[in-house]
Amino acid sequence: MSTMSRRCIPYTPNRRPLAETTIALVTTAGVHARNQPAFNPEGEKEFRIIPNDVPTAELTISHPYYDHTDADRDINCVFPVDRLRELAAEGLIGGVNDFHIGFMGTSPRLREVYEETAPAIADRVERSKTDAVVLTAG
Amino acid sequence: MRGLPTVLITVSPEASAQMGPPRAIYPVGFQIGHVLGGPGQADLQRQVLRDALERLITPGEPGTIEERVYPQYVPPPPAPS
């Protein structure tokens, strides 16, 4: 377990041009594929791996702690996967990772999120072809 | 763990600041649930995402949440009382 002070800022330098960068999205807005289990509204430590080839119509949100009425209509309000694909198609970024991460960020067990879930997400994303991550909440 | 560069798009800058995000932008006035803009505002969503990606390659003080202003943002109507 990391003993880094919580006042430290976990900064990783980036020297790669955007046009050579593969991006993954990581969101705590409760996004997942419709064929994946909904998040436990009481909080859970499990995250969802959202394949990048899932159409946005097959994405949904299970998060009881913010009004996602508009995001239900247009997932890009909180999870800009279509926008990311468009920017990749126009060459602004090098590419989009094979998957993204969805998580429900409200939990009464924050220590579990901090010590288990977040490192697990980081490890999973690091082992992919992702070069950098865009983070969103709800 | 080798570390990955990250950038956060937040509409709750005070809460986010407590966690010390290495890079972050705050679209000023955007409501929760509208992190990149409202539904159907694809051009705006794209601009916010571009600005976040730009922050990945722009030098800046780690831990700073940089404000961005988007006059074209349409906030949701207030809930009926």
3-state secondary structure of A89: helix
Q: How far apart are CA A1 and CA B68, in angstroms?
A: 36
Per-residue pLDDT of chain A (138 residues; tens, 9 = 90+): 556 666 788 899 998 999 999 999 999 999 999 999 999 988 888 999 999 999 999 999 999 899 999 999 999 999 999 999 999 999 999 999 999 999 998 888 888 888 899 999 999 999 999 999 999 997
The sign of the torsion formed by the CA atoms of B75, B29, B32, A76 equals positive
Contacts of A126 in chain B (CB under 8 A): 1-4
**pLDDT one-digit tens code per residue, B43-67:** 999 999 999 999 999 988 899 999 9
The per-residue pLDDT for A2 is: 57
Is A132 within 8 Å of B62 when comparing Cβ atoms?
A: no
Within 10 A of A117 (CB to CB), how many other CB atoms are there?
Answer: 20
- Distance in Å, alpha carbon of A14 to nearest chain B alpha carbon: 6
Is B5 within 8 Å of A77 when comparing Cβ atoms?
A: no
Residue scoring higher pLDDT (B74 or A2): B74
Q: Name the residue ranges covered by the structural domains of chain A.
A: 29-136
Q: Name the residue ranges covered by the structural domains of chain B.
A: 23-68
Closest residue on chain B to A7 (Cα): B20
Residue pointed to by tokens 């800022």: A9
Helices (H), B1-81: 13-17, 42-57
> Whole-number mean pLDDT of chain B?
92
Contacts of A64 in chain B (CB under 8 A): none
Interface test with A, best of B12, B53, B55 (most A CBs within 10 A): B53
Annotate A18-41 with b (16+ C-beta within 10 A) or e (fewer): beebbbbbbbbbbbbbeebeebee
Could you tell me how many CB contacts below 8 A there are between chain A and chain B?
A: 135
Closest residue on chain A to B6 (Cα): A133
**Complex ipTM value:** 0.94
Is B39 within 8 Å of A77 when comparing Cβ atoms?
A: yes
Is A131 within 8 Å of B9 when comparing Cβ atoms?
A: no
* Distances B68 to A75, B28, B36, B47 between C-alpha atoms, Å: 21, 6, 11, 10
Q: Which two tokens stand for residue A48?
A: 């969802």
**pLDDT one-digit tens code per residue, B11-45:** 999 999 988 899 999 999 999 999 999 999 999 99
Contacts of A69 in chain B (CB under 8 A): 33, 76
What global pTM score does this model have?
0.94
